[in-house]
Copies of this chain bind each other. A is one copy, B any other.
Amino acid sequence: MKIVVDGMGGDNAPVSTVEGVVKAIDEYGIDIIITGDKEVLEKEFAKYTFDEKKLEIVHTNEVIENEDKPVKAVRSKKDSSMVVAFDLVRQGKASAVISAGNTGAILAAGLFVIKRVKGIDRPCICSAIPNVKGGMTLLSDSGANADCKPKNLCEFAGMSDIYAKKVLNIENPRVAVLNIGLEEGKGNDLVKKSYDMIKEMDLNFIGNVESREVINSFTDIIVCDGFTGNILLKATEGVAMSMFSLLKKSFISSFRSKIGAILLKSQLKGLKGMLDYSEYGGAPLLGVAGGVIKAHGSSDSKAIKNAINQGIKFAEGNVVEEIEKFAKSLKKEESVKGKEK
């Protein structure tokens, strides 16, 4: 098995990316291909001692920047580190791709280079929100599809269920619909219809979940459209981070409070770690015909290493094959329902 890493994507590339790759080779003994400017990358790798036989550098001339328009960039920058990396997955030369680059471009490269699994209408990004029990809750879709149909939410539910089982080893993942009330029949048109359809699927469906419970580990998977999911994801992250900076500020406001903060250092650090998004590697793009892990734009080497590990588990768990089976079952069901009518 080989994993390909986009060597130039992300705020801390290639420095943290290279360090993360070295750590992954050391820890997992995995074969890695990295794409990017060969000279720059070689200089970075020269800093480390590791099993160099495990590494292949594929030289590319271009980089997709954060400011680039995603679709246009993927179509025009054919020799970018991102597009070449995705193309290696399409060709079957790598089992999964890791990129910390432009999120929109990752989505576009997934759709246009690797392409969708047949029968899946809308691939989704499945992000992990840390919860207060020290685990994580999956949020699908967290931003790939701003406008959705009920059918899409069913796909998100089924694909995330597979991911939770195969990559996160959750035995019987609880699936819930994000809503503004717990009772059946609540919400907007989209969630009401989606609720009725997901209820009929072969899932451990537990009903609606409210956003105030998101970090309380009420469910393993939260299903929603990508607009609402992105609002929720960024709100959770924003409030947590703002509260930490408020705490920090108030703790240095007096001598007394400074002493207090020193005594609480390990507790505060533990809490921050628990709610720190970078701990969790990356988010998979589910529903394309290959493993795609989107690492956080500001990933450090640990986050890159964790994302590579996710890519390995994704490939080992045959997630794509499982999603293909799921897509076929969806199609069969639709044709049965069509005949019933």
Contacts and interface: CB of A to CB of B under 8 A. Distances in A.
A174 B197 CA distance: 41
Given A147-B188, A147-B189, A263-B263, A236 B239 contact: yes
A211 B238 contact: yes
A173 interface: no
Nearest to A145: B188
B235 A180 contact: no
B228 A215 contact: no
A104 to B, nearest CB: 9
B211 A246 contact: no
Contact of A264 (B143, B188, B261): B261
Contact of A232 (B235, B266, B267, B268): B235
Contacts of A227: 180, 187-188, 191, 228
Contacts of A238: 210-216
A235 B261 contact: no
Interface residues of A, number: 55
Nearest to A189: B147
B270 A143 contact: no
Contact of A271 (B188, B247, B262, B264): B247
Prevailing SS type, chain A contact patch: helix
A242 B132 contact: yes
Contacts of A180: 143, 146, 226-227, 230-231, 234
A204 B13 CA distance: 39
A240 interface: yes
Contact of A239 (B178, B239, B251, B268): B239
Contact of A250 (B189, B210, B236, B270): B270
B187 A211 contact: no
A202 to B, nearest CB: 27
A239 B215 contact: yes
A49 to B, nearest CB: 39
26 contacts: A180-B227, A180-B230, A188-B225, A188-B227, A191-B227, A210-B238, A211-B230, A211-B234, A212-B237, A214-B239, A215-B242, A227-B228, A235-B236, A239-B239, A239-B240, A240-B243, A243-B271, A246-B274, A247-B271, A250-B271, A251-B264, A260-B262, A260-B263, A260-B264, A260-B267, A261-B264
Interface of A: 132, 143, 146-147, 178, 180, 187-189, 191, 210-216, 225-228, 230-232, 234-243, 245-247, 250-251, 253, 256-257, 259-264, 266-268, 270-271, 274-275
